[in-house]
């Protein structure tokens, strides 16, 4: 996504006889509409998370002992100790803490829906996401061998990335939300590449490339799910049976291709379409974020990956 690529990808659908000022204003209007739609969608996701946080299970001590504390397992001490400290602090008054968590997420969501408070809400989204990523998710399992199919590097860090991507930039033109200035072009491309190379590396770690690794991951996610979701898990797990090594390397290659293609203007749309397919497959293996178990705190990483791909999608037809 070089500067030359940006110039080459200006929207060809604008009539050629319009003035430069009109052309710029028209482009800015499309850009602002796309960014605003992304901000509203992100706000809606935060409101869904707030609603999930109000489930009865979240007000019980079991939320701490069976969801939060196990997340510390396998992490280095500099992550696990602060996580366990936070867990022990919350368990004594989990109802109060959980209500506070729901209120914070609700306010972020509402703030993103209002133009006058969107900047404050995006800033709060970054701060809250980083705090939850550390104290609740343990950096999304990066150091404990988690798989992208289970949510690595953590859904909540993707909220922070999305907040940065859709941050208002003023009246500037560009072929996509992330390419309105040179530093955003290179920064956004590097961020995208790092994320997908991370996925590729996770797929080839010893824990995830065993013959039965992916099968066991999917098959073990059926607890608490309705029968129809369990049936899907059974079918997917059956397809992965004994093929963990081959499929892990295949998925790793797909992730590397998605990472590299973002730097080639002619391949950007294909890379983003492939990323959307990957996100759909991942959400299937994540049992739709576990929202049917009454224990899910968010939609998991796949919907945020899809939203991120949408933010990179070019506005131009070329």
Over the chain (318 residues), the average pLDDT of each successive run of 10 is 41 42 53 91 97 96 92 87 93 95 98 95 96 91 87 92 86 59 71 94 88 87 86 88 90 96 91 96 91 91 94 77
- The pTM score is 0.84
Report how far apart, in Å, the C-alpha atoms of 216 and of each of 233, 234, 236, 242, 263 are: 10, 11, 11, 10, 35
Q: What pLDDT score does 100 carry?
A: 97
Would you state the pLDDT for residue 222? 81
Q: State how far the Cα of 79 lies from the Cα of 123, in Å rounded to an integer.
A: 24
Helices (H), the chain: 3-8, 20-53, 61-63, 77-91, 94-113, 118-135, 155-165, 182-203, 213-219, 227-240, 244-261, 268-285, 301-312
CB environment 212-247: b (16+ within 10 A), e (fewer)? ebbbebbbebbeebeeebbebbeebbeebeeebbeb
d(CA 36, CA 16): 27
**Which pLDDT score is estimated for 224?**
82
pLDDT of residue 22: 45
Distance CA 202, CA 144 (A): 10
Q: What is the pLDDT of residue 9?
A: 42
User: What is the structure's pLDDT at 170?
Assistant: 63
Reading phi first (left if > 0) and then psi (alpha if -120 to 50, else beta), residue 10 is in beta
Which among 315, 316, 317, 313 is positioned nearest to 270, based on CA atoms? 313
Helix axes 244-261, 182-203, angle to 10 degrees: 170
Q: How many CA atoms lie within 13 A of 172 on its CB side?
A: 15
Report how far Cα 210 is from the mean position of its chain's Cα atoms: 26
pLDDT at 177: 67
Non-local CB neighbours of 152 within 8 Å, separated by 6+ positions: 140, 141, 142, 146, 198, 199, 202, 301
Dist CA 197 CA 191 (whole Å): 10
How far is C-alpha 31 from the geometric centre of its chain's CA atoms?
Answer: 22
């Amino acid at each position: 996504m070089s500067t030359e690529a940006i110039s080459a990808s200006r929207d060809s659908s604008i009539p050629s006889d319009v003035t430069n000022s009109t052309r710029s204003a028209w482009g800015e209007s499309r850009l602002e509409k796309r960014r605003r739609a992304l901000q509203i969608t992100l706000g809606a996701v935060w409101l869904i998370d707030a609603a999930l946080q109000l489930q009865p299970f979240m007000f019980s001590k079991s939320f701490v002992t069976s969801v939060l504390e196990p997340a510390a397992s396998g992490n280095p001490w500099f992550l696990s100790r602060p996580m366990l400290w936070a867990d022990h602090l919350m368990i004594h008054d989990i109802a109060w803490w959980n209500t506070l968590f729901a209120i914070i997420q609700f306010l972020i969501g509402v703030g993103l829906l209002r133009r006058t408070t969107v900047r404050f809400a995006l800033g709060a989204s970054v701060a809250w996401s980083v705090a939850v990523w550390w104290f609740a998710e343990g950096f999304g399992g990066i150091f404990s061998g988690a798989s992208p199919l289970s949510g690595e590097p953590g859904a909540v860090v993707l909220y922070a990335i999305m907040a940065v991507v859709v941050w208002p930039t003023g009246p500037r033109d560009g072929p996509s939300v992330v390419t309105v200035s040179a530093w955003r072009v290179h920064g956004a491309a590097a961020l995208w590449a790092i994320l997908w190379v991370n996925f590729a590396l996770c797929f080839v770690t010893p824990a995830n490339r065993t013959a039965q690794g992916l099968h066991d991951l999917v098959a073990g996610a059926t607890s608490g799910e309705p029968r129809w979701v369990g049936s899907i898990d059974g079918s997917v797990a059956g397809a992965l049976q004994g093929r963990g090594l081959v499929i892990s390397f295949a998925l790793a290659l797909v992730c590397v291709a998605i990472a590299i293609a973002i730097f080639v203007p002619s391949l950007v749309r294909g890379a983003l379409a492939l990323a959307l397919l990957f996100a759909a497959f991942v959400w299937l293996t994540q049992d739709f974020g576990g929202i049917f178990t009454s224990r899910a705190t968010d939609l998991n990483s796949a919907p945020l990956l899809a939203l991120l791909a949408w933010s990179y999608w070019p506005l131009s037809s070329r």
